[in-house]
Amino acid sequence: MSSSRAAAAIRTAARRPRPTRRRKPDPIRTWVRRLDRTRPGLVRDTLDLLAGLHGHPVWQRRFDPTSELILTILTQNSADVNAEKAFEALRLRYPSDLPSEAHLPGGGWGGIGLSEAPPPDWAAVAGAPLDELVDVIRPGGLAPQKAPRIQATLRRIHAERGDYSLEFLGTMAPLDARDWLTSIDGIGRKTASVLQLFSFDHPLMPVDRHVERVSKRIGLIPPKASADDAHELFLALLEPADIHEAHVNLIRHGRLVCHALRPACDGCPIRPRCRHVDPKAP
Ligand code: SF4
């Protein structure tokens, strides 16, 4: 091809419209739009019906953020009461002279609350022989997995910040703070969201097994949504101001009414809108 014909061919190709690349639909936005279209008002109705039954919980910080994080790690796949026992054991074995803190469990917490006492000496916990720490937190369950996780978490905080305080997270944008936390091995979106919601009132929705079960039964989120997707779905479905109440009341509902094995559907106010009762519920 002569150079002038080649140049003409290039000019023609440049004028030809490029094929537009179709963007993959975002499954979170697709679900939210579909719910809005096919079941209008479902989110609002659910929140209102839950509030009618369980009330309007008031947010209050329940613990220092480092204590909240370690306590939340202790609750992973364990009952809250057992996590409380393990946390008390940490306080006893590694006492500190820090100011006493009260644990204000509030709604949604499944334990009895912790006595008022100083937090553990985090440097001593981070530096303890691993076998010793496993023994100390054994009452909480899964100690061989959690002890190294707790030490790695504390060491990472200290390496990056020079102390064990997590108060700096409260000054960050919620999703940036969540990214910082989830970059630590063993801390997922649920653990990070618990810490941020209850220590800083960040509008992030922790999705535990109760929240997941109740919301899937009602049809707020798709039945096959993964745990990570469920966290993002709630951020798209809920107004930030509703997140604390939604979290606490869905947990209460899961514990008191919508049990895993035999949900008490007959007395449940959500029944008319629940897809577990009627697959065609509006
Ligand atoms: S109607 Fe039954 S399944 Fe649905 S939310 Fe209420 S208790 Fe749960």
Span 17-71, pLDDT tens digits: 666 667 778 999 999 999 999 999 999 999 999 999 999 999 988 889 999 999 9
Which of 46, 250, 257, 275 maximizes ligand 1 atoms within 8 Å of its Cβ, making it the mutation to test the pocket?
A: 257
Question: Which domains occur in the chain, in start order?
Answer: 65-200 (1.10.340.30)
Distance CA 85, CA 51 (A): 31
Distance CA 57, CA 63 (A): 17
Instruction: Determine contact, residues 186/153, Cβ cutoff 8 Å.
Output: yes
Which of 39, 215, 274, 278 maximizes ligand 1 atoms within 8 Å of its Cβ, making it the mutation to test the pocket?
A: 274
pLDDT of 260 higher than 90? yes
* DSSP for residue 120: P
The residue-averaged pLDDT of 183-187 equals: 91
* The pLDDT of residue 34: 96
Distance CA 4, CA 18 (A): 23
Asked whether 270 lines ligand 1 (CB < 6 A), one says yes
268 CA: nearest ligand 1 atom: 6
The Å distance, Cα 76 to ligand 1 centre, comes to 25
pLDDT tens sequence across 121-158: 999 999 999 999 999 999 999 999 999 999 999 999 99
Sorted by sequence, the CB contacts under 8 Å of residue 164 that are 6+ apart come out as: 66, 122, 123, 126, 154, 157, 158
Asked whether 220 lines ligand 1 (CB < 6 A), one says no
Asked whether 73 lines ligand 1 (CB < 6 A), one says no
pLDDT tens sequence across 198-238: 999 999 999 999 999 999 999 999 999 999 999 999 999 99
The residue-averaged pLDDT of 91-99 equals: 95
CA nearest ligand 1 atom 1, residue: 271
Distance CA 6, CA 280 (A): 63
* The pLDDT of residue 15: 62
pLDDT band at 14 (very low <50, low <70, confident <90, very high): low
The Å distance, Cα 268 to ligand 1 centre, comes to 6
* The pLDDT of residue 66: 97
275 CA: nearest ligand 1 atom: 4
Here the tokens at position 8 are: 């003409």
The residue-averaged pLDDT of 188-194 equals: 94
* The pLDDT of residue 157: 95
Instruction: Determine contact, residues 218/41, Cβ cutoff 8 Å.
Output: no
CA nearest ligand 1 atom 2, residue: 265
CA nearest ligand 1 atom 8, residue: 258
Asked whether 214 lines ligand 1 (CB < 6 A), one says yes
Here the tokens at position 59 are: 């947010």
Asked whether 260 lines ligand 1 (CB < 6 A), one says no
